[in-house]
């Protein structure tokens, strides 16, 4: 085989075989195929797309470049969850303890945040002492004892993905459905769970800005997992505005704890319950509705909160900060953003809110950057709320006062107001399983608006 011929085949719209994809992905990961040839191939995929078979084969070729976690020593069906990214998305901190409290088994590997999106590992590290780098024996012992544990994803899983993503990132080929689906699913398949629930976000803060694209991505990822013998489903959830009111690591832990104690913002509670119910359903705990009722009980009877505390304790975290969240890292500077005139909030651009939070120190521009655990934003007004002139729309938190000005500028750009409230966006648009998307809300108006605002 010659890489030149394979690039030309894809450029002309040909369907790659598994052997060809193994040659390309294995060769690139091992350094035999240079960046320029791989970049050309990835761009050819961007223009020519891939069939479901090719996308599944590409994913398996990526998995084959590294190790696969073997979770078989743990009891029962292991359940994983993955979000395609968001701002203020702390659902994992709520959903995993709920699932464990209902008898599910979660041995999860997670990533760190980058750019405007947050990462579960960073949020957990806002709990002083919490260790995310456990060896296999300690990881398994924690899962056996608590029903859940979360560690940072090993570099040894699907190493092709990191190299391919870095190249896509600098050559304009990130936003391709087969490339996103294979990138995410290669890491998920290598992580070893039996059941995977995908949270495919859509809206201004998500990779997918439009509902039909989110449904296509969800179907592609569900098909890859099913082809690999996993139990799969996906929910398409809203990420047009941040979930809940808190954005930033320690602030999000505090908000997750509020929900686990039976309170917290309604949108966050609703999405978390839907995700937990679907995870339990995939692992064979009964129909989704019955699983949802059990999940609700786990929030009201305190058993889910106890699971978060048990996980934190098993991983070295200071549980006292969960019992009293005022002990979580607190920022030295807290500055309100005031509403300039009477108006309904019509839009809060999640991506820009994520960038404002990053400007405050809560996120990283590039892998390895240090982050300020206390930095972030508390949103006091959300889309649909009415704000009077002088009302505080949000509080910006940081330990570095010099960051405030830029964050205020970005935040100002993220908020739009109007004379009438905006149409209410559903929290969950659809559910995808076995190749079918079931609508869970009416989104015709939003689709029409997406078409009207087309690029
Ligand atoms: N997240 C990933 O892991 N990969 C992508 O390509 C996009 C989002």
Which two three-digit tokens encode residue 53? 């078979």
Cα torsion 111, 113, 118, 120: sign: positive
Band of residue 12 on the pLDDT scale cut at 50, 70, 90: very high
289 in Cβ contact with 279 (< 8 Å)? no
Residue 119 Cα to ligand 1 midpoint, Å, equals 13
DSSP state of 401: G
Which residue(s) pair with 31 in the sheet? Answer: none
Percent of the chain's residues with pLDDT above 90: 92
Encode pLDDT of 51-106 as tens digits: 999 999 999 999 999 999 999 999 999 999 999 988 999 999 999 999 999 999 99
CA 68 – CA 370 distance, rounded (Å)? 29
Ligand 1 contact via 207 beta carbon (within 6 Å) = yes
Q: Please give the pLDDT value at position 453.
A: 57
- For residue 454, pLDDT beyond 70: no
Which two three-digit tokens encode residue 42? 């990835």
Q: Which residue has the higher pLDDT, 365 or 158?
A: 158
Band of residue 455 on the pLDDT scale cut at 50, 70, 90: very low
CA 93 – CA 107 distance, rounded (Å)? 13
Q: Give nearest CA residue, ligand 1 atom 2.
A: 184
373 in Cβ contact with 251 (< 8 Å)? no
Residue 205 Cα to ligand 1 midpoint, Å, equals 14
Which residue(s) pair with 364 in the sheet? Answer: none
Q: Please give the pLDDT value at position 366.
A: 84
A 10 A CB-CB count for 263 gives: 11
- Average pLDDT of the residues of the chain: 96
Q: Please give the pLDDT value at position 451.
A: 78
- Alpha-helix residue ranges (DSSP H) falling in 172-264: 177-190, 211-227, 249-260
Element (H, E) at 451: helix 444-452
- For residue 240, pLDDT beyond 70: yes
Q: Please give the pLDDT value at position 438.
A: 96
Pocket test for ligand 1, best of 118, 155, 184 (most atoms within 8 A of CB): 184
Encode pLDDT of 405-440 as tens digits: 999 999 999 999 999 999 999 999 999 999 899 999
Element (H, E) at 353: helix 350-359
Q: 3-class SS at 338?
A: strand
Band of residue 367 on the pLDDT scale cut at 50, 70, 90: confident
Which residue(s) pair with 196 in the sheet? Answer: 80, 232
Prediction pTM value: 0.95
CA distances from 36 to 7, 21, 40, 43, 453 (A): 11, 17, 6, 11, 35
Query: How far does CA 379 lie from the centroid of its chain?
Result: 20
Pocket test for ligand 1, best of 62, 161, 168, 180 (most atoms within 8 A of CB): 180
Encode pLDDT of 273-303 as tens digits: 999 999 999 999 999 999 999 999 999 999 9
Q: Which atom of ligand 1 is nearest to the CA of 180?
A: 6
Residue linked to tokens 């559903």: 426
């Amino acid at each position: 085989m010659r890489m030149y011929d394979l690039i030309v085949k894809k450029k002309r719209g040909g369907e790659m075989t598994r052997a060809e994809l193994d040659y390309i992905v294995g060769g690139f990961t091992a350094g035999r195929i240079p960046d320029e040839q791989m970049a050309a191939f990835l761009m050819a995929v961007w223009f020519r797309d891939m069939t479901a078979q090719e996308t599944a084969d590409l994913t398996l070729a990526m998995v084959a470049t590294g190790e696969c976690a073997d979770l078989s020593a743990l009891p029962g069906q292991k359940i994983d969850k993955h979000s395609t990214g968001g701002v203020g998305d702390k659902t994992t901190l709520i959903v995993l303890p709920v699932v464990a409290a209902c008898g599910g088994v979660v041995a999860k590997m997670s990533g760190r945040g980058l750019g405007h999106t947050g990462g579960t590992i960073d949020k957990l590290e806002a709990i002083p002492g919490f260790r995310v780098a456990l060896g296999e024996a300690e990881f398994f012992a924690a899962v056996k004892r608590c029903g859940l544990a979360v560690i940072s994803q090993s570099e040894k899983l699907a190493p092709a993905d990191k190299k391919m993503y870095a190249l896509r990132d600098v050559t304009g080929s990130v936003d391709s459905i087969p490339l996103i689906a294979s990138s995410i699913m290669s890491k998920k398949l290598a992580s070893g769970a039996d059941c995977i629930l995908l949270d495919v976000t859509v809206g201004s803060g998500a990779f997918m800005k439009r509902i039909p694209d989110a449904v296509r991505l969800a179907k592609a990822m569900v098909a890859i997992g099913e082809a690999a013998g996993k139990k799969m489903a996906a929910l398409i959830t809203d990420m047009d505005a941040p979930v809940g009111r808190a954005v930033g690591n320690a602030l999000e832990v505090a908000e997750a704890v509020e929900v686990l104690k039976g309170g917290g913002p309604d949108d966050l509670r609703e999405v978390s319950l839907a995700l937990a119910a679907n995870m339990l359903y995939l692992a064979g705990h009964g129909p989704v509705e019955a699983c949802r009722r059990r999940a609700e009980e786990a929030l009201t009877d305190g058993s889910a909160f106890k699971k978060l505390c048990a996980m934190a304790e098993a991983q070295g975290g200071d549980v006292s900060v969960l019992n009293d969240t005022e002990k979580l890292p607190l920022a030295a500077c807290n500055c309100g953003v005031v509403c300039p005139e009477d108006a309904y909030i019509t839009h809060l651009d999640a991506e820009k809110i994520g960038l404002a939070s990053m400007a405050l120190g809560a996120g990283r521009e590039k892998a390895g950057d240090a982050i300020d655990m206390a930095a972030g934003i508390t949103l006091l007004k959300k889309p649909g709320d009415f704000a009077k002139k002088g009302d505080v729309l949000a509080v910006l938190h940081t330990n570095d006062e010099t960051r405030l000005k830029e964050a205020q500028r970005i935040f100002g750009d993220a908020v739009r107001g109007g004379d009438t409230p905006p149409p209410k966006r559903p929290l969950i648009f659809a559910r995808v399983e076995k190749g079918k998307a079931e609508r869970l809300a009416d989104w015709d108006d939003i689709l029409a608006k997406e078409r009207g605002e087309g690029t």
